[in-house]
Structure 1
Amino acid sequence: MNQNEKYNTYSFLLERTARSVKQFAQRKFNELGFEVTVDQWQVLKVLYDHNDLNQREIAELTYKDHPTLTRIIDLLCKKELVERKMHPSDRRSFIIHLTEEGKAKVEFMKPQVAEIRTHAWHNLSDADFEEFKRILNTIYSNLSL
């Protein structure tokens, strides 16, 4: 196998695994009746940790593009989990605020989401995890240059 084929295989494995992790989590979200998607959860969790952010800040923290994030926020507003408030110093933008219902949702989901996330790490040692983390951080750094 030449270098190009090797890198294509690694890229495929990385993409396949990332997709599988997200699909597994979404299946569990559905089974548990969370009534939010994995992407919506990411936004809720970011707002829980750093409430009252503008969309650009949320996009940076969730790695979502602006059109996708706008759709997610629209859906979360309809579910009354977040609300848009006028930015106090910039009338052209909004601050996204987690409602009390949104806070309660995150607090209810947090321990269960943590358990869902650990499922992927079964049968891996601490050394495996550290090596995996090192490799992913190296790939991320290579692409961030």
Structure 2
Amino acid sequence: MTKEQFSQYSFLLDRTARRVKQYAQQKFKVGDFDVTVDQWLVLKHLAENEALSQTELATLVFKDQPTLTRIIDILCKKGYVQRVQHPEDRRSFQLLLTTAGEEKVAELKPKISGIREKAWENLGQKDFEEFKRILNTIYTNLE
């Protein structure tokens, strides 16, 4: 691959990732979801895991600690997340969804699924599998 081709493909990947996020943010705003895309990612990961430390969650959502702290603070104020003293380490906390947080995840899952499906319109299963393979290869190359 030439440098020009590499640059073109990198541009397309970055442009597409930005478009997907912008589209989702617009739909979140119009849909009055009461959370942002980044807040949703935190809620989703907390719903998929029993209890997470902030460090574990930061790794899952690819956020630095200060940014994640702000997101968690907002979700705690909204009543969706709670900080609970870690049972084995009094210096740290575990993050858990509240009942309202669980209800918010259940409410938003089908809506967000619809948003994601829009990006995959006109693509078949074979396209998806090849795309997944390529993205996983790029990800693995950078480990």
TM-score in terms of structure 2 length: 0.95
Question: Match of 1:114, as an amino acid?
Answer: S
Helix, strand or coil for the counterpart of 2:84? strand
Counterpart residue number, 1:20: 19
User: Within 2, Cα distance between the matches of 1:16 and 1:37?
Assistant: 20
Q: Deviations over 1:29-75 (max 9, x none)?
A: 11111010111000001111113211111112222221211111011
Q: Deviations over 1:94-132 (max 9, x none)?
A: 111100000000000001111111100001121111111
Question: Match of 1:102, as an amino acid?
Answer: G
State the Cα RMSD in Å. 1.1
Helix, strand or coil for the counterpart of 1:96? strand
How high is the sequence identity, in percent, across the aligned residues? 59
Question: Match of 1:68, as an amino acid?
Answer: T
Helix, strand or coil for the counterpart of 1:85? strand
Question: Match of 2:48, as an amino acid?
Answer: D
Counterpart residue number, 1:50: 49
Count of residues in Structure 1 that have an aligned counterpart in Structure 2: 143
User: Within 2, Cα distance between the matches of 1:33 and 1:125?
Assistant: 31
Could you tell me how far 1:87 is from its partner in structure 2? 1.1
Counterpart residue number, 1:112: 111
User: Within 1, Cα distance between the matches of 2:13 and 2:66?
Assistant: 25
Unaligned runs of 5+ in 1: none
Matches within 5 A, 1:1-145: 3-144=2-143
TM-score in terms of structure 1 length: 0.94
Question: Match of 1:8, as an amino acid?
Answer: S
User: Greater shift after overlay, 32-41 or 62-71?
Assistant: 62-71
Unaligned runs of 5+ in 2: none
Runs of 4 or more, structure 1, over 4 Å off, are none
Question: Match of 1:35, as an amino acid?
Answer: D
